[in-house]
Amino acid sequence: MPQTLFIGLMSGTSTDGVDAVLADFSTPDRPCILASSSLAMPDALRREFLALNITGPDELLRSSLAGNALAELYAGATRTLLTQANLGPDKICAIGAHGQTVRHDPAAGFTIQINAPALLAERTGIAVVADFRSRDVAAGGQGAPLVPAFHHALFSHSEARAVLNLGGIANVTLLSPDGDIRGFDTGPANVLMDLWVQHKTGVAYDAQGSWASTGQANQTLLDFLLRSEPWFELAPPKSTGRDLFNWKWLMQRLDAFEGPPLADNDIQATLQQLTAATIAHGIKRYAPDTRDVLVCGGGALNDGLIRDLQRVLPCPLRTTADFGVPVQLVEALAFAWLAWAHVNGYRAGLPKVTGARHASILGCTYPA
């Protein structure tokens, strides 16, 4: 069996769909994407994953059923890739399948990604590498972000560079010319903006920041949001998710805000600036010599957010598409690479990033 063809499957914090990539890692730092696919998350499954972020009845049963449903979706995405590339499952070394994060509390020693990798292996006839985060958490780390080693392999440069992923949560990788790699979550990217626009307009997300562009960001509210959350001032290593930045977090702060009443679109514009401000704070504080920022993730398609970011960052923004990787496929490609790293015994869990006691080989294998 060739050891160079891997599939990566990713469904992120936004729970809007599954991104899938089939790549050839003959040259690990320059993978060749052979096929790609994106499948929308079925509404019922998306609602279930969001509900499982908080305590509820029959969680064990519901999470198991949701994991099976996700594995079926993953299997469908895998079949699409194989059809596109005209390959049989016997040609693929392994699938890297992240699963859907519903709880993340490394301080308590756990992180939960709902998945059914054994079922995925059964449905596809391909070995599956899954459960990427728990080994790092067991070693005292945050279990996140996991992609800095991958970012280093693909995007390292002779000058200081940051790679910024704008999913539900924003995370940044800081790459130094000397090979030093750091990374951490900076806070919300799309999660709060999505929650607010869904609540007020019924649409899934603010496409290209069009609704935010009709409002005016309120500096008093922005300052209040920044002051009211101690997590923003924590030093790395740090990670976060919907456990913290959720509807309850947003409503508590809007209820406590003592400024003048704001229009709904003004709040959206302020939440967009909150994302930009927290990212800029992290880069300026921990990598002031950064010469450029490569952006990826769904938020890279939000023109309004990109404009806000460019205003507050002291260096130019580019996208990973300029380097051959479409912005919405970077994380799926990262998990194909992490599967490659697991199979080849490469320790992709980096203590400088996660705070773990030692570097770890991430994931575990479910044979075909």
Q: Is the pLDDT of residue 288 over 50?
A: yes
Domain stops at, among 278, 293, 315: 315
Q: How far apart are the first and last CA of the chain?
A: 12
Which amino acid would we find at residue 10?
Answer: M
The pTM for the full model equals: 0.95
Residues 45, 67: contact at Cβ < 8 Å?
no
Which amino acid would we find at residue 180?
Answer: D
Domain housing 209: 148-315
pLDDT of 16 reads 86
Mean pLDDT for the stretch of residues 93-108: 96
Question: Do 241 and 346 have their domain in common?
Answer: no
Which amino acid would we find at residue 225?
Answer: L
The residues near 235 (Cβ < 8 Å, ≥ 6 apart) are none
Mean pLDDT for the stretch of residues 160-170: 97
Smallest CA-to-CA distance from 104 within 26, 13, 24, 205 is with: 13
Q: Is the pLDDT of residue 123 over 80?
A: yes
Band of pLDDT at residue 1, cut at 50, 70 and 90: very low
Domain stops at, among 272, 289, 315: 315
Pairwise CA distance, residues 19 & 329, whole Å: 7
- Within-domain flag for 264: yes
Question: Do 226 and 115 have their domain in common?
Answer: no
- Within-domain flag for 233: yes
Q: What is the total residue count of the chain?
A: 368
| Helices and strands (H, E) in the chain, number of each type | 12, 13
Q: What are the residues facing 296 on neighbouring strands?
A: 165
Q: How far is CA 293 from the centre of its chain?
A: 17
Residues 125, 368: contact at Cβ < 8 Å?
yes
- Within-domain flag for 25: yes
- Within-domain flag for 323: no
pLDDT of 250 reads 98
Smallest CA-to-CA distance from 54 within 232, 222, 241 is with: 241
- Within-domain flag for 310: yes
Question: Do 257 and 196 have their domain in common?
Answer: yes
3-class DSSP state of 246? coil
Question: Do 232 and 156 have their domain in common?
Answer: yes
Q: How far is CA 64 from the centre of its chain?
A: 23
Q: In whole numbers, what is the pLDDT of the chain averaged over residues?
A: 96
pLDDT tens digit sequence for 207-266: 999 999 999 999 999 999 999 999 999 999 999 999 999 999 999 999 999 999 999 999
Radius of gyration of the chain (CA): 20
DSSP label at 183? Answer: E
- Within-domain flag for 185: yes
Question: Do 196 and 247 have their domain in common?
Answer: yes
Which amino acid would we find at residue 204?
Answer: A
Q: How many domains does the chain have?
A: 2
Question: Do 133 and 186 have their domain in common?
Answer: no
Q: Is the pLDDT of residue 294 over 70?
A: yes
Token pair listed for 276: 């930009």
Pairwise CA distance, residues 150 & 21, whole Å: 15
Band of pLDDT at residue 143, cut at 50, 70 and 90: very high
Question: Do 152 and 119 have their domain in common?
Answer: no
pLDDT tens digit sequence for 47-77: 999 999 999 999 999 999 999 999 999 999 9
Residues 8, 333: contact at Cβ < 8 Å?
yes
Smallest CA-to-CA distance from 29 within 301, 275, 247, 325 is with: 325
Burial class (CB in 10 A: 0-12, 13-18, 19+), 65: middle
Phi, psi of 141 (to 5 degrees): -95, 175
- Within-domain flag for 320: no
Question: Do 154 and 140 have their domain in common?
Answer: no
Question: Do 272 and 341 have their domain in common?
Answer: no
Question: Do 187 and 123 have their domain in common?
Answer: no
- Within-domain flag for 324: no
CATH number, domain with residue 63:
3.30.420.40
Pairwise CA distance, residues 118 & 142, whole Å: 25
Whole-number percent of the chain with pLDDT over 90: 97
Smallest CA-to-CA distance from 11 within 69, 85, 89, 55 is with: 69
Question: Do 46 and 175 have their domain in common?
Answer: no
Angstrom CA distances, 315 to 90, 284, 288, stand at 46, 10, 10
pLDDT tens digit sequence for 273-285: 999 999 999 999 9
Mean pLDDT for the stretch of residues 186-202: 97
Question: Do 45 and 184 have their domain in common?
Answer: no
pLDDT of 2 reads 55
Burial class (CB in 10 A: 0-12, 13-18, 19+), 156: middle
